[in-house]
Amino acid sequence: MSAATGKKAVLQLDGKEIELPIYSGTLGPDVIDVKDVLASGHFTFDPGFMATAACESKITFIDGDKGVLLHRGYPIDQLATQADYLETCYLLLNGELPNAEQKAEFDAKVRNHTMVHDQVSRFFNGFRRDAHPMAIMVGVVGALSAFYHNGLDIEDVNHREITAIRLIAKIPTLAAWSYKYTVGQPFIYPRNDLGYAENFLHMMFATPADRDYKVNPVLARAMDRIFTLHADHEQNASTSTVRLAGSTGANPYACISAGISALWGPAHGGANEAVLKMLDEIGSVENVAEFMEKVKRKEVKLMGFGHRVYKNFDPRAKVMKETCDEVLAALGINDPQLQLAMELERIALNDPYFVERKLYPNVDFYSGIILKAIGIPTGMFTVIFALARTVGWISHWLEMHSGPYKIGRPRQLYTGSTQRDIKR
């Protein structure tokens, strides 16, 4: 961050002028430093923090108007098609893509930490079998701090780094177990001879009775891309939650658990699950045309199209569409709901109403279809999102702790009662 040459903002306040520095990043709009407003006895008001930069970061950049998503400068479509998820993890954590030796070492570290302490498995028995998998994840991820308390010195760079590896490695195991528990199947332990995504799918769908179970490589590649495309997304609600929790000095497992809780909200991580619910409500292909007319009349919401951040197109969607086509072709699925989804896509890409408003299918639309085709229940969709986003959360947590930081303390515009006395 550097001062923007020759630029400053001047605020007229109660007859006085307050000069506010303007800073420039390497990309994106300049930012106005408003901290001096506090000395004048005023706060700024920005509900939802839509115009507030709460931190300085070098990890991810988004230009929603142009449909740009960069991780450490690399476009997301290049990472999804030319790198795998663990390479993207290394990039987010370290700032550069790994060479062959670094990749082999990093992959080995992750593989060697996929197992969880045996007593962690007993935590699952405290949940009802019909518990939502996200409820389980919030609990068991937070509980990891009880098993790795000898590595929780957040001032120790080695502790921070090994915790990042542990989280990336163990979250897939816990995620798969949260599914197995809800369907009453035995836990499948991780296999270190399998790739990251392949290992996750094996833990999800293998059973002790089927020792020859093999993961379809097309599905493993699709899952790896889903992980990559969801790895980080700048200062969203869950990432900001992790940073805010981390600013108190809370242990990293508690911070990631907080991020999972924030992601659980339907306005954040539940979007692809909402797509499947919408398809259920539409019912059949014959009802799609009328449903889209209702969308035009603003009688119903079209889920999985358009994006709050991307005003042009979601740069992740093209790769996700290609992957979706590969999965459906490989599985040869003749699912009426998937046919319905494809008809929605066809109309949205050709109808002037949707084209003019840039209501293109986004990453949630295609990822929901892929996950359903693979056989993953909708209740697990957000868990998989959390699995993929863990590296983004821990990368931001590491970045924050690598330099000076302040405890987060948003202010408010108070509109309640003025002071009053109790009278009896």
Backbone angles phi, psi at 172, to 5 degrees: -60, -40
8 Å CB contact between 235 and 351:
no
Cα distance from N-terminal residue to C-terminal residue, the chain: 58
**From CA 300, how far away is CA 283, in angstroms rounded?**
14
Nearest C-alpha neighbor of 313 from the set 357, 350, 368: 357
**From CA 90, how far away is CA 388, in angstroms rounded?**
13
8 Å CB contact between 366 and 374:
no
The single-letter code of the amino acid at 149 is H
Token code pair at residue 145: 């701090």
Nearest C-alpha neighbor of 161 from the set 99, 110, 100, 103: 110
Token code pair at residue 60: 């991810």
Q: Which residues are catalytic?
A: 307, 364
DSSP labels, 351-371: -HHHHHTT--B-HHHHHHHHH
Nearest C-alpha neighbor of 358 from the set 415, 330, 297, 317: 317
Q: Is residue 81 within a helix (H) or strand (E), and if so which, with residue range?
A: helix 76-82
HSE-up of residue 214 (Cα within 13 Å, Cβ side) = 4
Q: How many CB atoms lie within 10 A of CB 256?
A: 30
**From CA 52, how far away is CA 29, in angstroms rounded?**
12
120: left (phi over 0), alpha (psi -120 to 50) or beta: alpha
**From CA 135, how far away is CA 175, in angstroms rounded?**
11
8 Å CB contact between 72 and 91:
yes
8 Å CB contact between 303 and 275:
yes
